A and B are shown apart, each in its own frame.
Chain A
Amino acid sequence: MEFLQSGAGVRTVRLDPRTKIVLLFAVSTVLLLGGNGPAMFAVRTTMLLFPFALLAVSVRVRVAVLMLAAYLGTYALAVFAAPALSGVANAFVVASATVVSRFVPTLALAYFVFATTTVSEFMAAMARMRMPDWITIPLSVLFRFFPTLGEEARAIGAAMRMRGISPLRNGVTYVECALVPLMSCAVSIGEDLSAAALARGLGGPAKRTNVCAIGFGALDIAVIAVSAAATALLAASLTFPGAIA
């Protein structure tokens, strides 16, 4: 299962975790708030291509293509369904397709961030930004927690298929069946993970050292510049709607 795995070995783009955070912020803001006019359309297009391009060059072509297909599909649906449908159906289809198409690029980027950052790099970056432990540690646990929970969810799904419990036949019961074991797994995984980390000295007052090399390169500066420019343009177009045509 390749879900969200971070292979430190396969890395073609090396971005500092801080750059990734800046980019994540810029992409999500620009795509969700939008802005109107041809200039902002150009900015939006640039920002939404970023995540897919990053996924593709970091040897995750399959995910990149799937995500891009999901984006184009929902976008096309929103554009072509609008004139073809009417009434409630129109409102429902257009609204949900628009929402999904706006979230997909951000999800793709989040996938990229999780899949190409090791916990060690993330903690080093947070330390450089002088983030306190109570922010860094819970966030760093997420890197492990979701993939582990994903493995559990897969096993639970298999158990349900074996007993013929399906979403179509059982409806609400299906959700209940999936959630009860998943919750109890999540609790025990969380507890085991914390015990193992604490037993190895996490959270002590000693300044945590780090073996991974993080730092800004030319690529980081370029990505940050583009992100900053896009966010600035968005801010400008929102404050002075007429200024940027």
Chain B
Amino acid sequence: MNGGVREGAPVLLMDNVSFFYAGERSGAGVAGISLSLCAGELALLCGRSGCGKTTVTRLANGLAPHFYEGTVAGSVRVCGLDVARAELWETARLVGSVFQNPKSQFYNVDVRGEVAFGCENLGFDPADIERRVDDAVREFDLAPLLDASIFSLSGGQKQRVACASATATSPRLVVLDEPSSNLDFETIARLRAAIVRWKESGAAVLVAEHRIHYLDGLADQVIYLDEGRIAHRWSGEEFARLDDAERVRLGLRARSVADALRFPERSRLAPDVPSRSDDGRAGQTPRKAAKPEKPPIRFEKLTADYRKNGAFERALDVPSLELPQASVTALVGPCGAGKSTFAEAVCGLNRCEGTMEIDGERLGKRDRRRRCFMVMQNVNHQLFAESVLDEVLLGMTGDDRGQRALSILRDLDLDELAQAHPLSLSGGQRQRVAIAQALATDRPLIVYDEPTSGLDLAHMRQVAETIRGVRARDATQIVITHDPEFVLSCCTHVAMMENGRIADTFPLCEETANRLADLFLAYDRP
């Protein structure tokens, strides 16, 4: 299938394209976008949140203006096809797409059907589809999952299915919109391998991404967007040579795995919270509490099971674990290792056994629900009230609760938004409202589930700063994350989880930073 395109002609050609979303639709418009991408090349779109990266990917696969309505000017051509005018199903013959959220990009409930879905829609011959599905399944190592329900897969496995499904139609252009947001290092390595294969097979690849380290050495062009316009354009080599200070000034994440895993200079020089003079010591002697007068939080015999095909399997098995008070522990490990199950068990939200001890007090499941708090990955699940202030007051007691609520909002930089509706806030602000709920009800332990997925450098640092601020109020925190840059910017300890067990724990300081690197890199080459 060559589509009658000349050898060497660009697969994707955007000429002075502008797009503005219609009506109240949220999304950043773009203007004056020109780019040309040939077969076997990769273009990386980067820039701060809301710079219009996603819009450019939507223009390439035709979702803008056909699904996301708006006004478009200029021309977008894929192998000569005028995408803005052609129907979406015509574009689908040439373009394969993978989206950010693995949860909501499937149409089928079974893996096999999902991989075949695009081919079926395009009316390929059933025998041909069988062959394509087999090839894609082999390429993405999906054979063991083929007959599984998609709902039982981990986020990483879902993203593999999405990639296989995009591959099965042999697209000329592959469009990826923040595909790594919810992925662990192992799946990111697989994603990189898939991109290499696409490039080798002669497909052009367009990626919009914040976490760009895994594209190191793969990008042929790097396009930096700022407020909907192309502000910089580099070749792959030029981008790699760019000064690191400039990279930070542009608000970009680490460019290589080595950069992402480098222990930050800053945190060594400036202790995050001035009041805590024992910071350094806390880092080096984790098993002994940072503050001798306060015993650590202790977990014992924490176990949980889950049902699989009618039989129970152990999902969590933590014989004992101690967290120093006011520490920030990064809980790392591959997708499906039991990190979320652990977090739910800690907060008393799932069926589990075992105990937890805070300040010498043993907490059962019901007590844990009152004393621990989880900031969920989709923070919208926990916003119920009509205004930010009501959200914080909900569950508070005492006569001075109004004043305390306002002081918490001030600490989290939310005081000006006290009367705003929670759903009118930005993602980061919503997250801080959830944290405010936890502080308002004096929870000694706060657990975060992937708080930085899909965040740019500035927002990631903002979350890190908030977590350091919460630490100053003596709350202990656990952060589930796949983001080493984030771990290095605010965590004091690391716990590695594997197959439902805590495989390793250590305090995080300059000397142990390489152990953290080992944990992440263990999965780099599958």
Question: Are the C-beta atoms of A120 and B116 separated by less than 8 Å?
Answer: yes
Q: Which of B101, B126, B382 contacts A210 (CB 8 A)?
A: B126
The chain B residue sitting closest to A5, CB to CB, is: B149
The chain A residue sitting closest to B107, CB to CB, is: A197
CA distance in complex: A118, B111 (Å): 10
In the complex, whether A177 has a CB less than 8 A from a CB of chain B is: yes
In the complex, whether B278 has a CB less than 8 A from a CB of chain A is: no
CA distance in complex: A180, B386 (Å): 10
Question: Are the C-beta atoms of B381 and A120 separated by less than 8 Å?
Answer: no
Q: Which residues of B contact A62 (CB under 8 A)?
A: 310
Question: Are the C-beta atoms of A204 and B67 separated by less than 8 Å?
Answer: no
A226 to chain B, nearest CB (A): 28
CA distance in complex: A195, B57 (Å): 13
Q: Which residues of A contact B382 (CB under 8 A)?
A: 156, 159, 162-163, 181
Q: Which residues of A contact B152 (CB under 8 A)?
A: 5, 7
In the complex, whether B122 has a CB less than 8 A from a CB of chain A is: yes
Question: Are the C-beta atoms of A156 and B113 separated by less than 8 Å?
Answer: no
Q: Which residues of A contact B372 (CB under 8 A)?
A: 162
Q: Which residues of B contact A195 (CB under 8 A)?
A: 63, 67-68, 99
CA distance in complex: A197, B62 (Å): 13
Chain A window 98-120, contacts with chain B (Cβ cutoff 8 Å), 1 for yes, 0 for no = 00000000000000000000111
CA distance in complex: A181, B124 (Å): 40
CA distance in complex: A2, B437 (Å): 31
In the complex, whether A220 has a CB less than 8 A from a CB of chain B is: no
CA distance in complex: A1, B344 (Å): 14
Q: Which residues of A contact B23 (CB under 8 A)?
A: none
Q: Is the interface of A mostly helix, strand, loop or mixed?
A: helix
Q: Which residues of A contact B441 (CB under 8 A)?
A: 163
A159 to chain B, nearest CB (A): 4
In the complex, whether A129 has a CB less than 8 A from a CB of chain B is: no
Q: Which of A7, A163, A196, A201 contacts B106 (CB 8 A)?
A: A196
Question: Are the C-beta atoms of B147 and A155 separated by less than 8 Å?
Answer: no
Question: Are the C-beta atoms of B151 and A199 separated by less than 8 Å?
Answer: no
A163-B395 in contact given A6-B110, A199-B88 (Cβ < 8 Å): yes
Looking at B89-97, B206-214, B452-460, B462-470, the stretch in contact with chain A turns out to be B89-97
Q: Which residues of B contact A181 (CB under 8 A)?
A: 380-384
A9-B67 in contact given A2-B307, A210-B120 (Cβ < 8 Å): no
Among B133-187, those with CB < 8 Å from A are 133, 146-149, 151-152, 165, 169
Q: Which residues of A contact B96 (CB under 8 A)?
A: 200
A211-B109 in contact given A8-B147, A198-B67, A201-B89 (Cβ < 8 Å): no
A152-B109 in contact given A5-B149, A162-B369 (Cβ < 8 Å): no
Q: Which residues of B contact A245 (CB under 8 A)?
A: none
A235 to chain B, nearest CB (A): 36
CA distance in complex: A189, B381 (Å): 13
B286 to chain A, nearest CB (A): 28
CA distance in complex: A141, B310 (Å): 27
A8-B395 in contact given A148-B103, A199-B61 (Cβ < 8 Å): no
In the complex, whether B48 has a CB less than 8 A from a CB of chain A is: no
Question: Are the C-beta atoms of A196 and B105 separated by less than 8 Å?
Answer: yes
Q: Which residues of B contact A118 (CB under 8 A)?
A: 108-110, 113
The chain A residue sitting closest to B113, CB to CB, is: A120
- Give how many A residues have a beta carbon under 8 Å from the other chain's beta carbons: 62
A39 to chain B, nearest CB (A): 39
Question: Are the C-beta atoms of A209 and B125 separated by less than 8 Å?
Answer: yes
A161-B369 in contact given A119-B107, A144-B108, A147-B151 (Cβ < 8 Å): yes
Question: Are the C-beta atoms of B105 and A192 separated by less than 8 Å?
Answer: yes
In the complex, whether A165 has a CB less than 8 A from a CB of chain B is: yes
CA distance in complex: A209, B202 (Å): 27
CA distance in complex: A207, B122 (Å): 8
Q: Which residues of B contact A218 (CB under 8 A)?
A: none
CA distance in complex: A209, B133 (Å): 14
Question: Are the C-beta atoms of A144 and B106 separated by less than 8 Å?
Answer: yes
In the complex, whether A172 has a CB less than 8 A from a CB of chain B is: no
Q: Which of A163, A184, A196, A198 contacts B437 (CB 8 A)?
A: A163
In the complex, whether B374 has a CB less than 8 A from a CB of chain A is: yes
A34 to chain B, nearest CB (A): 34
Q: Which residues of A contact B93 (CB under 8 A)?
A: 201
Among A126-166, those with CB < 8 Å from B are 140-141, 143-144, 147-148, 151-152, 155-156, 158-165
A186 to chain B, nearest CB (A): 11
A209-B89 in contact given A119-B107, A119-B113 (Cβ < 8 Å): no
Question: Are the C-beta atoms of A202 and B147 separated by less than 8 Å?
Answer: no
Q: Which residues of B contact A163 (CB under 8 A)?
A: 382, 384, 394-395, 437, 441
Q: Which of A61, A163, A188, A192 has the most CB of B within 10 A?
A: A163
Q: Which of B63, B89, B107, B116 has the most CB of A within 10 A?
A: B107
B94 to chain A, nearest CB (A): 10
Chain B window 210-252, contacts with chain A (Cβ cutoff 8 Å), 1 for yes, 0 for no = 0000000000000000000000000000000000000000000
In the complex, whether A84 has a CB less than 8 A from a CB of chain B is: no
Q: Which residues of A contact B107 (CB under 8 A)?
A: 119, 140-141, 144, 193, 196-197, 200, 202
The chain A residue sitting closest to B347, CB to CB, is: A162
Question: Are the C-beta atoms of B116 and A5 separated by less than 8 Å?
Answer: no
The chain A residue sitting closest to B438, CB to CB, is: A162
A119 to chain B, nearest CB (A): 4
Question: Are the C-beta atoms of A206 and B123 separated by less than 8 Å?
Answer: yes
A144-B122 in contact given A120-B116, A161-B349 (Cβ < 8 Å): no
Footprint of A on B, CB under 8 Å?
Answer: 61-63, 66-68, 87-90, 92-93, 95-97, 99, 101, 103-110, 112-113, 116-126, 129-130, 133, 146-149, 151-152, 165, 169, 307, 309-310, 344, 347, 349, 369-370, 372-374, 376, 378, 380-384, 394-395, 423, 437, 441
Additional A-B contact list (12), CB under 8 Å, known A193-B106, A211-B116: A120-B108, A123-B120, A140-B107, A144-B109, A147-B151, A155-B378, A163-B382, A200-B165, A201-B92, A202-B107, A204-B88, A208-B123
Q: List 21 A-B contacts (CB under 8 A).
A: A7-B147, A59-B310, A62-B310, A118-B110, A120-B120, A152-B381, A180-B384, A181-B384, A193-B106, A195-B99, A196-B99, A196-B106, A198-B88, A200-B169, A201-B89, A201-B121, A202-B117, A204-B88, A205-B89, A209-B123, A211-B120
Footprint of B on A, CB under 8 Å?
Answer: 1-2, 5-10, 59, 61-62, 118-120, 123, 140-141, 143-144, 147-148, 151-152, 155-156, 158-165, 176-177, 180-181, 184-185, 188-189, 192-212
